[in-house]
Amino acid sequence: MRLTMPSGTPEGIPLTVIPFREDAVIGTMSLATLVRLVPSPRQEEDPRALKAASGHDRRHAELRSTVQRTLKSQKGKNIPEYAEYIANGILGKHGSAWSTPPITLWHAGEIAAMSDELAPDSGLRTLTVAPDAMVIAIDGETQTTAWHDIYQDPESFGLTYNELSRRVRIPFELYLGISPADARQIFYDRNVKGIDVAKNLAMSMDQRDLATRLAYTVGERLEVESDGRRMPFGKLVNAGKRQLTRTDKEVVTLSALRALIVTTVFGTKGVEYSAANVHEGNLPPNTDADEVEAVVVRLVSRLIGDRFPYFARRSAITAPAVMAALGILLHRATPWCDPGKAMNYETVEHLLADVRWEREPAYWDGVCANVGSSGRLNFSGGVRDSAGRVAGALLDPHSESGRKIRGLGS
């Protein structure tokens, strides 16, 4: 008697998916499914683990190496922080303000099976991945490794396996049967074609950043008169650009306003925070977030409100380096300023009273701007480059640059 091998429903891991092109689908999966489908990149780069691995696992590691960077690059350093971020999101510490992008997976070779539509015209299908399939993350591998770290030891992140199975679904896109060359091209396109966001602009979007929150608070609480009507100053703050153009209706960027905030809090040291997060633990000694908010919002609102006509004209006062320098000056009016440098707000007013804010070379060329080949004054210098020089000019009216920005010549 000879027995025939079973046929019918193929064995493997079922995924509910929707095709979005002929060779790719999207869906979500559990964390347990992800770690079964995609081996840990850490294990695949560990020579001792590979030595004891099966032939299948070694082939998987070899294939992965043709389409991925190693963890020894910068991405490896990001994994612990990424895992902590994900865990805090699951635990509700970020509220709704957290996100991870879909992981981009490549299924090398043929899939085990694809069902018909589960409901007419829905696009939903069941895709079965064979147990020995080669599935590799070609984008999102840092996230994949972070998920592996969490799954390996959830208790160290304050989680349990029950929470991970009950509360976690991971979005993915899966490319089916494409060649290694095509997979490498997708890796290249995902990592090179995008334009990196400038660090200081990214900071201005971070709502967990204390300085960003204070900038938004100033925008909400300060009212100004523009075009004959009262409005919150925030209506005139552009949150999406690093530099304004002539056609923009706003008068200042959020990143420039944030630069004013961080230097008001920290003084000259605040320049370092123009492209770095500010947490409550970073605040000056013997202060707390409530005190800093009350003082900074009051000082910054008063300075902007008293000089709003210059802001409305988008004069030199709106340049990021000048904004940061104004904060260095305002810092001296805070209760936590070094007593040897402290001054009252009236002294700040006196130092600013005769500054010429017009965007003219006679006042600002060589201080925080330069004259380009077209003859126009260019304020493109960053906070780190020019804020200290402008602050020196504001604080010392008798210096060469101090006289220049006040129209007094040399």
Task: List, for residues 327-383, the tens digit of each pLDDT value.
Answer: 999 999 999 999 999 999 999 999 999 999 999 999 998 888 888 777 778 886 678
**Among 360, 352, 345, which residue's Cα sits nearest to residue 390?**
352
Asked if residues 391 and 341 have their Cβ atoms less than 8 Å apart, the reply is no
CA distance 216 to 210: 10
- pTM for the whole thing? 0.74
Residue 299 and residue 264 in contact, taking contact as beta carbons nearer than 8 Å: yes
User: For the chain, what is the radius of gyration of the CA atoms?
Assistant: 28
pLDDT grade for 6, boundaries at 50, 70 and 90: low
CA distance 272 to 256: 14
Q: Do the beta carbons of residue 332 and residue 342 sit within 8 Å?
A: yes
Token duo for residue 71:
């963890």
Cα distance from N-terminal residue to C-terminal residue, the chain: 108
Return the axis-axis angle of helices 254-266 and 210-221, rounded to nearest 10°: 110
Closest by Cα among 325, 326, 327, 329 to 385: 325
Higher pLDDT, 32 or 207: 32
Tally of CB atoms within 10 A around 183: 23
Lowest-confidence range among 3-12, 153-162, 312-321, 389-398?
3-12
Structure tokens at 163: 């929470």
**Alpha helical stretches, state H, 52-96:** 55-65, 74-90
Cβ atoms of 147 and 87 closer than 8 Å: no
- In one-letter notation, the amino acid at residue 30 is S
Contact 364, 371 (CB under 8 A): no
Burial of 294 from C-beta contacts in 10 A (0-12 / 13-18 / 19+): exposed
Could you tell me which residues are beta bridge partners of residue 106? 136, 175
CA distance 364 to 361: 5
Helix (H, G, I), strand (E, B), or coil: what is residue 143? helix
Which residue has tokens 């592996």?
A: 148
* Confidence at residue 207, expressed as pLDDT on a 0 to 100 scale: 80
- Dihedral over alpha carbons 326, 328, 332, 338 (to 10 degrees): 180
Q: 212: part of which helix (H) or strand (E)? A: helix 210-221
Residue 329: helix, strand or coil by DSSP? helix
**pLDDT the model gives residue 144:** 95
> Per residue in 131-156, pLDDT tens?
999 999 999 999 999 999 999 999 99
Residues 172-177, mean pLDDT to the nearest whole number: 95
Residue whose tokens read 């077209």: 374
101-116 residues labelled b (16+ CB within 10 A) or e (exposed):
ebbbbbbbeebbbeee
pLDDT tens by residue, 204-255: 678 889 999 999 999 999 999 998 899 999 999 998 777 888 888 999 999 8
| pLDDT averaged over every residue in the chain | 91
Q: Where are the alpha helices (DSSP H) in 99-192?
A: 141-152, 161-167, 180-188
Backbone angles phi, psi at 265, to 5 degrees: -70, -50
Which position has the token pair 């032939």?
55
DSSP 267: G
Q: Give, in degrees to the nearest 5, the angle at Cα 144 between 135 and 197.
A: 120
